[in-house]
Structure 1
């Protein structure tokens, strides 16, 4: 795919970036979708065997016949996008400065199977709060980077780009942009990377916000991951969270494959529909939502939202390079990391687990904000952008 950046004068230079996908690549994508060889229908009446045939065929039909990549390409190119080299790798990022002078710099990190597409809906509410019923004092300067190996960032050619390395790179990025004080936010991989930024505790980092907090007691996390049932006697909120985790840990074959044999997934560089099916089967609640969307039921996300993200993976050929982040990681995803700086937590009900306040307080001794929401799931910025924007304003208000 074609991209445009200005010629570099030095490795620390920040270069403007534009997306330009040749029409031939989009035509080739549609041809590959049309040539899909389909399996037979699942032998059960639910999604217990994976993404149902009706769902992925509806996705493919819309992708081939109606979907328009140019719309999201125009949205991206209407935003200030840049590339800069950090530790030998090009890092792509969106950087939108608020018109409000005292805006707080915020770096927001996506996860898998996400991308910068996840955060597009929260850009204006966070940078231009007065247009969304909020106060100018709640404004943010927003930085949204693409993870290494994802989207328009460079693909690592050697090992070493683990979440801790990304966390250090993000701090370098914010320094390079001239920010002497900032906050950070993330979900999924972004949550772990944000935790690790906080664990490093650079002096510029005032605090963090997580919508997938690393707050599970480590011994409980190990037991549930090993397939053991939750212990008896847990308080109701903790038992509910433990039950959610136990259910999720029964469905993490995708993470195990990417974490141990990412190169084996070569088919995802060849079959757009195969790649899409793998990507939308992240967790039960998200798959349920996506299946409803492609069955014609309006929800917080649209068919275009989903395919904007999937198409970005396809056009950049990053299914395998993105998967390698799982192989690089050696840390537990969801248990406490030892963060001591200020932390805000938003607990969405359809997240992999809805973190109880007791766990958040135990894992984050400097918990400055906690809110348990009544709707929203794993892709909070995508599905509930207004709610997440409100959570970020409230969560960071005391740090301004």
Structure 2
């Protein structure tokens, strides 16, 4: 997808995940080298007081090491989530008076076919990611496709689910003080670039 933006750095380009094999191998080595500490002897009702118990962590480590296929998951995400990236430039301000900053922002964007659809900015929180949207994106963009909802009135949405700056495939800001307000500015500029002058937002946590 490309827009007719006047500058190349404002172009919206399609994006597909591809994690380098060297990072996958590094993650595997880290899992193999993990050694869990001995635990205090606590009664069952207090076993979580000192953190996640070994009885929970050990099967999880085994799953990530032996049972999870990232390449299969990567292929599934790329085939089911319409992903894009664009560069958002934030002009100098009171918070950052010295210079502008530009961040490459990754996002999922799916327009609804329904004429009354409302633009929805769907924000993930830490330690989650944009991948969460895969479970709800079809139901939000086309609610009539859900079982039992074919003949009932359901609100549809144009869904935009960005990666928070510094998470997933979005650039992190190197400016001290960039946080909640900076992220909100980036997301508003992203929605405007997509043609949404008014929209609703949903998020949890931060």
> TM-score, with normalisation over the residues of structure 1?
0.43
Matches of 1:183 and 1:47, distance apart in 2: 38
Q: Which residue of 1 aligns with 2:72?
A: 71
CA deviation vs aligned residue, 1:260-314 (integer Å, no higher than 9, x gap): xxxxxxxxxxxxxxxxxxxxxxxxxxxxxxxxxxxxxxxxxxxxxxxxxxxxxxx
| Helix, strand or coil at the partner of 1:147 | coil
Alignment-derived partner of residue 127 in structure 1? 141
Give the corresponding residue for 1:159. 176
What is the aligned partner in structure 2 of residue 81 from structure 1? Answer: 83
Instruction: Give matches, 1:350-361, under 5 Å.
Output: none
Among residues 153, 164, 174, which one is paired with 2:191 in the alignment? Answer: 174
Q: 1:92 aligns with which of 87, 100, 106?
A: 106
In the TM superposition, residue 95 of structure 1 has moved relative to its aligned partner by 0.2
- Structure 2 contact 144–154 (Cα < 8 Å) conserved: no
User: Is contact 1:103–1:137 with CA below 8 Å preserved after alignment?
Assistant: no
| RMSD, aligned α-carbons | 1.9
Kept after mapping to 2: 8 A contact 1:16/1:83: yes
**Contact 1:98 1:140 (8 Å CA) reproduced:** yes
**Which structure 2 residue ranges, 5 or more long, are not aligned?**
91-101
Q: Tell me the matched-pair count.
A: 182
In structure 1, runs of 5+ residues without a counterpart are 1-7, 190-400
The offset of 1:101, in angstroms, is 2.7
Give 1:38 shift: 2.0
The CA deviation string for residues 338-393 of structure 1, in whole angstroms up to 9 with x for no partner, is xxxxxxxxxxxxxxxxxxxxxxxxxxxxxxxxxxxxxxxxxxxxxxxxxxxxxxxx
Post-superposition Cα deviations, 1:75-95, rounded to whole Å, max 9, x if no partner, equal: 321221111112211111000
Q: Distance in 2 between matches of 1:173 and 1:34?
A: 40
- Tell me what 2:12 maps to: 14
* Structure 2 match to 1:240: none
Q: TM-score, normalized by length of structure 2?
A: 0.81
Moved over 6 A (4+): none
Does the 8 Å contact 1:102/1:137 carry over to 2?
no
Aligned equivalents of 1:136 and 1:18: distance in 2?
34
Residue equivalent to 2:98? none
For residues 140 and 24 of structure 2, the distance between their equivalents in structure 1, rounded to whole angstroms, comes to: 32
Q: Distance in 2 between matches of 1:161 and 1:62?
A: 36
Distance 2:157 2:72 in 1: 26
Any idea what SS the aligned residue of 1:84 has? strand
In structure 2, the residue matched to 1:141 is 158
Residues 73 and 37 (structure 1), Cα distance of their counterparts in 2 relative to 1, 3 Å cut: same
- The whole-number CA distance in structure 2 between the counterparts of 1:42 and 1:105 is 51
Tell me if structure 2 keeps the 8 A contact 1:109–1:187.
yes
Shift of 1:137: 4.8
Instruction: Tell me, in whole angstroms, the C-alpha distance in 2 between the residues paired with 1:22 and 1:39.
Output: 31
Cα distance in 2 for partners of 1:178, 1:38 equals: 50
Describe the SS at the equivalent of 2:25. helix
What is the CA distance between 1:118 and its match in structure 2? Answer: 2.3
